[in-house]
Structure 1
Amino acid sequence: MRWKTLVVSALLALTLTGCATSGIKPTLFYPELPADLRLCFDKAVARPKVGPMSKAEVLTLVSKLKLSETEKIECGKRLIAFYDSLSPNRDHNRITQPIK
């Protein structure tokens, strides 16, 4: 019984060592993300003050949020274009109409 366990362990060890890369690690190349994209996504609208807000403050906040949303959409489109440029032969399913 002990002999069988030893043989099975040895065969298992041999099979697992066959998966090794012989010391050569594959290197993946990821190009640098354009700095403007990183900066674009870092921008955030400040938190509103604590407590009640006037109608003018609410309207200002909503307009800032809407502007921020528009900027983020443009950043996202540029990021997608950057990604697409890395894989020119890939068939991308692009949404051309807004999702409702």
Structure 2
Amino acid sequence: MPEMRFVIAWPDGREETCYSPSLVIRDFFEEGQTYPIRDFLDRSRKALTIASDRVEAKYGYPCSLARGQLARIEEAGSLFLADVDARVRCETFIL
């Protein structure tokens, strides 16, 4: 199963490299696109859950790295939820 990383820029400009055990991230995000914070969190939740489920289907157990990445994204994203104009940018994919 091909894993990948994707670089995002939080609304405060801080960049973070995120992990996915699957290329499914590309079905939810586009390089260079920005997403409202709530939409970004929802897309991340869906994409990383699918990625973890794919690992489970193949190996018999969910991907703890994908679940951990989602937890980090949700924790960091929660800091921006009060700002209705907050947006997250998907900078690039790293295969």
TM bucket (normalised to shorter chain) is: 0.3 to 0.5
Higher helix share: 1
TM-score normalized by structure 1? 0.33
Higher relative contact order (CA 8 A, sep 6+): 2
Return the index of the structure with the highest Cα Rg: 1
